[in-house]
Structure 1
Amino acid sequence: MKKKNRAFYHYFIPVIYAVFVYILWELTGTLVAYVVGKVMDNWEETLYSSYISMLFNEVLTFVIMFVLFRKKADFVRKEKRNGSWLPVLGMFIFPLIQIGNDLMTLVHGKKVFSLLSGKGICFFLICGVASLSIGLLEEYVWRGILLNMFLAAWGKKKNGIYCAVVVSSLGFGLCHYRNLLVGQNFADTTKQVLYAICFGMFLAALFIQTNHLFIPVLVHGLCNFSNFFMNEILGWNYTVWKYDDILQGVLAVFYLSAGLYVVYRSVQKKQNIRRKTEK
């Protein structure tokens, strides 16, 4: 009976707590969005105002979550890094391919407004800061708070690190189903969810490999930025390149594979160190 209670404590309580954090995050975000919407109610509806509103929403939500969970979350993991930065540099090829695809599509697509116009330059700056704020908030919640919590609860158990990475990434992906509430169709949302799960595994592996939340925040923010910027400049025209879905699927597989491999290597190194210290 005691063993069953221990299993419940170690595996189910962290998941329940994660659900609580997620609900609190959504409620906080909804409240902040309502307040920001009221403040900006008299603003003219423009491309700039929508991204400024997004920036305010993300930053204010982050501040609230930081105040609530600053003792539970880590920007820098306390564990000692094992190995070089070479695998991290190798991992960067995948987000660079994604960003490069967005840039190539942007160059060859029919633009709604010029990239070098005053509107284009202003939007570049606003969109860049707003995108990084999304990366900061989402990485703080899913990697800084929740992945760290799962690692603390399960990290010393057999396959515990894998469980922590998989569960936190599943949560990160599934939370994108909330886009159904804003009118996105189920098929497109499911594609986004599957892609986000794979991308989440990659970001979790980056965090574990580097011990710094800044790296996944930067990668997450830059990928969001290139995607938002491309779509707004092209008027959300998804017919620019017909093979984009295939590339996104291939990238998702690469993100998943690279993430699992890096986590596997990290686990193997820890086990080797443990065996040496036990001898």
Structure 2
Amino acid sequence: MNGRTRARGFRRTVTAAAAAALVACVATGCRPMDTGAASRPGDVRTAGAVTGAGAAGPSGSAGSGTAPSGAAGAAGAAGSGSPGAGVARQPAGPGGACVFVKPDGAQRLGHTGWGFRVTGTDRWEYGAVENPSNALYTPPGGDVGAWHARGTYARMLSDMSRGGLLRARGSGRSAGTPVAGGPAHPYSRYRCTSSPRGDVTAARVMIRTVAGRGFLVGVDPRTGEFGSRDCLDATYDILKAYRAQHLTPAFPAEIPNVWVETLVLWSDHELTPG
């Protein structure tokens, strides 16, 4: 048995243990930890068009111009604040993908968000499925806290460091999710990989798909089958559609904190609030 087979067997064992824990969780009435879903970024897409100043058009270019790449861009390009000190350079490109992690999310099993580079530009698209109801099941079409934003690499890191959510802008509501003061569990880690290309069109189609397919961890009440449509599934499906390099397959109901460790050849960085 080679190392890859052993690793795959270990992941399946851990996933099976997590599945058993989730069944017990449902039976005892426990709920996933609040992932901090509340308000959404200014350049946000829910079910409709991108809104907010600086939103990119279909080609990914911003109305206010393109920020410089690399360290210079990371130092001063974020419109709502720059990420913490020591931020890494963005992937070399022309494409690239990132996974954002809240290690203490979902009963400390982990919570993930995603980001990908609009190929050949300095613009990124990023977001997550935040599951604001904390329910193990939300039917298709229900509010799963899916949001989608566009901006520079630095803006992406800044937004995600605050849980992917900007501070409150008024007291309005978006897609049924209240705008509140701030996230309970900001994303504190991110891993990125470069890519010679990226299928932005396919990724955008998948963004709409995951926003509308509901949320599931455990037994689907419609089919009676065990499976998942959670934050990790959204992250994996979007980055797979983008054709991110070195993307490890995600098993149904896999533990996010375990899956993140399988991303070989991805950079690994701490994310501090910006």
TM-score (ref. length: structure 1): 0.28
Highest CA radius of gyration, 1 or 2? 1
Indicate the structure with greater strand content: 2
Instruction: Name the structure with the higher helix share.
Output: 1
> What TM-score, normalized by structure 2, do the two folds share?
0.28
